Amino acid sequence: MAAQALYRRWRPQTFEDVVGQSHILQTLRNALATGRVAHAYLFAGPRGTGKTTIARILARAVNCTAAPERRPCGECAVCRSLAEGRSLDLIEIDAASHTGVDNVRDLIEKVQFAPSEAQYKVYIIDEVHMLSTPAFNALLKTLEEPPPHALFFLATTEAHKIPATILSRCQRFSFQRIPLSDMVAHLTHICATEGFEAEPAAIELIGRYAQGGLRDAISLLDQMVAFGGENITLAQVQSVLGTAADAAVEVLAEHLVLGDTAGGLRLINQAVDAGVDGRQLVNQLLEYLRSLMLIQNGSGGLLNVTAETQSRLETQARRIAPAALVRAIKLFTEAAQSQRSALQMQLPLELALVEATLDLSRTPQASGDGAPGPAHRAAPSAHPAPAIPSRPVETPAAPPPLSPSRSEAAAEVAPPPRSEATTVEGPVLDLVSQWEAFLAAVNQQDKRVGGLLKDCYPLEATVNQVTLGVYYSFHQKQLEDTKRRGLLEDVLSRTLGSPVRVQFKLTPKTKAEMDAERPKNPLQEATDDPVVKEAVRMGGKITGISLDT
């Protein structure tokens, strides 16, 4: 009555039955044929890729009495006793529940005894990464020079946890995830043999979901059969996995591209109501956005999709700006990583969607003229920061420097003026914060212009005009050259996100004077300080500054 799990029934018994891992099989076969089987192997790789299976087959193969190329034959007495688990010569150890040094000592003691019926005594140590350090160390000598009749096959999913001294004593084989095509072929084969009817699309979804772990795939197939009988449909698989239909994901991405927050939220909620798992939905969306990103970067060929889908993806990819797409991917990745269960999974997803769509709807119009409130920029505390615009704005604005000695000066900061009539905060703010990036961008295009700019600083900026201060008339002349100015305007427009014209203005002061002046202004420095700014925002007032040097 207790039907064995499908994945156990289908555990390969010979090398031929193993799916994938041909690089390992070839090596092992050759070793068997030439009689050069090593005394210790380490099988490492992700779950469900065949480590334990191959270890068991190999255990039989080395002991099989048939001709070398037919090993393991599965028929000789040794093969059978090994396969049935009644041989004394195959010792399979669960290292994860026997982690201690005592377990290893016990093993070492018994290694000395010759095998009872087979040629070799084989130790399969599974989940070997869980052995304690003393246990590993106790094993070292035995693993290095075991008695001639002993073989060790270690298997683990986490090879990085194995001490180097163990690694160097084993031949190591890295198992790879099983490719989707192999997996689909194998699942189809199982279905045919077991008499299940399965839609190809259903099989493919199972294969994709398993992500290279064959056990996951077969286990899922088993579950499908238990769930809906021997007819396996795509809809069934989707409902058990909680994945959304591909069409729904496409629509969700479309909402994203259009910046349609409400539509996206509605779709998410409908999907979740219909039993879609929030986490699956995020992952599917990410997969989809990744396709868009690949297409945008000319790697559409990597996608494994039909021509029709590909062309639809391409149209969509054209309609979203690469930067916005990357940001959306980041947001959703973050949502996918939050470790929450289904109920709370929906919330990160919704939040990511809102933020991504907001981001999109903002990008085209860029800096906000007339946009309500200062909360328009991405900065978290987006309240008017009083000082930043006035730093580059030059001499007249700066109050007379206070004496640099230990003095206390009373200075009242009036609630910061929202904007200074001619200057709009947004762009200057941007320019100051992005000055470095701007310089770098210019440098990339033209080193000379970059060099000239080093002696400039942002002076003033309005919505569509930026004035840069220059110290020397020579620099001004050089920069006013049409070509150079064009380049600057170009880069600047891109940096700020809106078209800008550039002007240059010669300052009466020398560079040294300017530099010397700036740090001498304690009030300025104080108001620049993020802590002070935050305090002012919450209604604090600067009543005095005490210098302390």
Q: Which residues of the shown chain bind another protein in the complex (CB under 8 A)?
A: 1-5, 8, 46-48, 52, 94, 96-97, 99, 126-127, 129-130, 157, 213, 215-216, 219-220, 222-223, 225-231, 239-242, 261-262, 265-266, 269, 272-273, 275, 277, 279, 339-344, 347-348, 350-351, 354-355, 358, 372-373, 375-376, 380-381, 534, 538-539
3-class state of residue 99 by DSSP = coil
Minimal distance, residue 306 CB to another protein, in Å? 29
Residue closer to another protein by CB (options 157, 476) is 157
Residue closer to another protein by CB (options 355, 460) is 355
Residue closer to another protein by CB (options 344, 445) is 344
Nearest C-alpha neighbor of 15 from the set 67, 61, 64: 61
Residue closer to another protein by CB (options 144, 534) is 534
Q: Which residues of 278-292 are buried (b: 16+ CB within 10 A; e: fewer)?
A: bbbbbbbbbebbebb
Minimal distance, residue 166 CB to another protein, in Å? 17
Minimal distance, residue 340 CB to another protein, in Å? 7
Q: For residue 345, what are the contacts with CB-CB under 8 A and spacing of at least 6?
A: 277, 278, 279, 282, 338
Residue closer to another protein by CB (options 513, 534) is 534
Q: CA–CA separation, 541 vs 92, rounded Å?
A: 74
Tokens, residue 110:
């018994």
Q: CA–CA separation, 476 vs 525, rounded Å?
A: 29
Minimal distance, residue 266 CB to another protein, in Å? 5
Residue closer to another protein by CB (options 5, 167) is 5
Minimal distance, residue 403 CB to another protein, in Å? 34
Residue with token string 């005894």? 113
Residue closer to another protein by CB (options 77, 378) is 378
Q: Considering Cα of 330, then 332, then 334, then 336, what sign does the dihedral take? A: negative
Residue closer to another protein by CB (options 92, 490) is 92
Radius of gyration of the chain (CA): 35
Tokens, residue 407:
């003095």
Residue closer to another protein by CB (options 204, 277) is 277
Phi, psi of 459 (to 5 degrees): -105, -45
Minimal distance, residue 38 CB to another protein, in Å? 24
Residue closer to another protein by CB (options 84, 308) is 84
Residue closer to another protein by CB (options 429, 461) is 429
Minimal distance, residue 331 CB to another protein, in Å? 10
Tokens, residue 279:
């986490």
Residue closer to another protein by CB (options 21, 52) is 52
Q: For residue 37, what are the contacts with CB-CB under 8 A and spacing of at least 6?
A: 31, 58, 62, 151
Q: Which pairing describes strands 545-546 and 408-409: parallel, antiparallel, or unpaired?
A: antiparallel
Q: For residues 336, 341, 342 and 346, what is the CA-based torsion angle, rounded to 10 degrees? A: -50
Minimal distance, residue 115 CB to another protein, in Å? 23
Q: Which pairing describes strands 40-44 and 171-174: parallel, antiparallel, or unpaired?
A: parallel
Residue closer to another protein by CB (options 119, 223) is 223
Minimal distance, residue 458 CB to another protein, in Å? 27
CB 366 within 8 A of CB 430: no
Phi, psi of 62 (to 5 degrees): -70, -25
Residue closer to another protein by CB (options 452, 532) is 532
Q: Which pairing describes strands 501-506 and 408-409: parallel, antiparallel, or unpaired?
A: unpaired
Q: CA–CA separation, 326 vs 292, rounded Å?
A: 10
SS3 readout for 254-311:
HHHHHCCHHHHHHHHHHHHHCCCCHHHHHHHHHHHHHHHHHHHCCCHHHCCCCHHHHH
Q: How far is CA 545 from CA 29, 78, 512, 521, in A?
A: 82, 90, 26, 11
Q: How far is CA 302 from CA 125, 168, 179, 305, 509, in A?
A: 39, 37, 15, 9, 58
What DSSP string runs through 127-161? TGGGS-HHHHHHHHHHHHS--TTEEEEEEES-GGG
Minimal distance, residue 275 CB to another protein, in Å? 6
Minimal distance, residue 104 CB to another protein, in Å? 16
Minimal distance, residue 100 CB to another protein, in Å? 11
Minimal distance, residue 343 CB to another protein, in Å? 4
CB 124 within 8 A of CB 153: yes
Minimal distance, residue 269 CB to another protein, in Å? 4
